[in-house]
Amino acid sequence: MRATRWQLVRFGLVGLVSNGVAYAVYLGLTAAGMDPFAAMTLVYVVALLIGFTGHRKVTFAHEGHLGRAAVSYLVAYAIGYLLDVAILAIGMHALGQSHIVAQAIAVVVVAVFLYLALKLFVFTPGVVDAPTGARSPLGGDREQRAAER
């Protein structure tokens, strides 16, 4: 439980940095006249790059296969992107909210989704081979392995 709590704290810190930078860029782009959906799309790429590095190294201390983690991360973020677009569209068009309010709500909802996706599907520990006890190179969460010892 303690490891999960610290992992959540680290996730929050990495998320604050990546989302803070992304939201500031979003506000700047929309203030300069860019369409909110185009701005959100561009900002998503910025958050994707900052987040992958931060979550892999800091949040989950992942030592597993980089390529597998990167592909899984992209899939999780693609789903998160669609969720973000849906929240922005519903907030603006169905509920009549400002794009600023709708995007702020989307940041929180997508963050919860992404934490669960990253923890459960992206930065997973390696699978242990029962006969040999060897760990597969497909994962590697140092904290979880330490907790298992």
Residue 94, amino acid: A
pLDDT digits (tens, 9 = 90+) for 33-64: 999 989 988 998 888 888 899 999 999 989 88
Percent of the chain with pLDDT over 70: 84
Residue 2: predicted pLDDT: 78
Q: Take residue 81 and report the two structure tokens written for it.
A: 């992107």
Q: What's the angle, vertex CA 76, arms to CA 2 and CA 116, rounded to 5?
A: 25
- Look at the chain and report how many structural domains it folds into: 1
Crossing angle between the packed helical segments 2-31 and 99-117, to the nearest 10 degrees: 150
Which domain does 77 fall in, by range? Answer: 2-148
pLDDT digits (tens, 9 = 90+) for 59-117: 998 988 889 999 999 999 899 999 999 999 999 999 999 999 999 999 899 989 999 99
